[in-house]
Structure formats: C-alpha cells, structure tokens
C-alpha cells in the first residue's frame, strides 16, 4: 500500500497557506494520504485559533477547512489503548502518538514538520 500518513502540522501548512506550504506539497505530491480521524479535529482547532487572531478572515479560514476535509484522505481509526501505550513509551502526546501509531500500523512513512514526532518515527 503506497502512501503516507499526514499530520496536522503538514496539512495545516498547506490548507492555511503557511510559509512552508510549498515544501509540504512537495513532501506529499502524488501520494495516497492516510490520517487518523483526529486530524479533522486538529485542523478545525487550527482554523479556530487563526480566526481568533484574524477575525476578518473567518470565512476564508472556514472555506479552507471545508476544502481540506474534502481531500481524498483515507480517514482511519486507531487503537486508543495502543496509542496511550505508545505515548507513554515515546513521551509524545496521545495526539501525536495517534499519527505515529497509524504510520507504524500501516507500514507507511509519516509526513510531518513536527521534529519530535519525526524523531519518534525514525526510532525503533
């Protein structure tokens, strides 16, 4: 199964036009994308935070969020008990451990800008 697991740091950069958006696009171009369903909540949270700082962009942010949720991402559920154990073993949050768990479970690389998460992915 070719593809990548994508996290909120990377997809958020693309969706909300952040400085590393072009780099993020190059990291996932042509790949099937997989993510825990948590990603949708995280993107909504990012949109909310941005709307609080830039209230005049509320509509634009809502539209960007809506488009992101329509992307051809394979939304997956995770084993929450296993995610908890992985978080305890790695020191990651359970949110980040969800992406790590999914990538390891599917045997796919993880597309992220989060250095701690990438380090955990590269550890045995």
Give 50-64 pLDDT, tens digit per residue. Answer: 999 999 999 999 999
Position 119 scores a pLDDT of 94
- Secondary-structure class of domain 4-118 per CATH: alpha beta
Per-residue pLDDT in tens (0 to 9) along the chain, 124 residues: 589 999 999 999 999 999 999 999 998 988 899 999 999 999 999 999 999 999 999 999 999 999 999 989 999 999 999 999 999 999 999 999 999 999 999 999 999 999 999 999 988 7
Q: What are the boundaries of each domain within the chain?
A: 4-118
- C-alpha 101/C-alpha 86 separation (Å) is 7
**Which has the closest alpha carbon to 4: 70, 53, 67, 72?**
72
CB 96 within 8 A of CB 116: yes
Tokens in use for 112? Answer: 């992220």
Position 43 scores a pLDDT of 96
């Amino acid at each position: 199964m070719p593809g990548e697991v994508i996290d909120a740091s990377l997809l958020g950069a693309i969706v909300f036009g952040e400085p590393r958006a072009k780099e993020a696009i190059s990291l996932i171009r042509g790949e099937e994308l997989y993510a825990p369903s948590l990603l949708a909540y995280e993107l909504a949270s990012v949109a909310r935070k941005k709307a609080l700082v830039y209230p005049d962009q509320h509509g634009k942010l809502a539209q960007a969020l809506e488009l992101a949720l329509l992307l051809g991402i394979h939304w997956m559920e995770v084993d929450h008990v296993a995610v908890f154990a992985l978080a305890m073993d790695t020191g990651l949050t359970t949110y980040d451990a969800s992406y790590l768990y999914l990538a390891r479970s599917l045997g796919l690389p993880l597309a992220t800008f989060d250095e701690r998460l990438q380090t955990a992915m590269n550890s045995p």
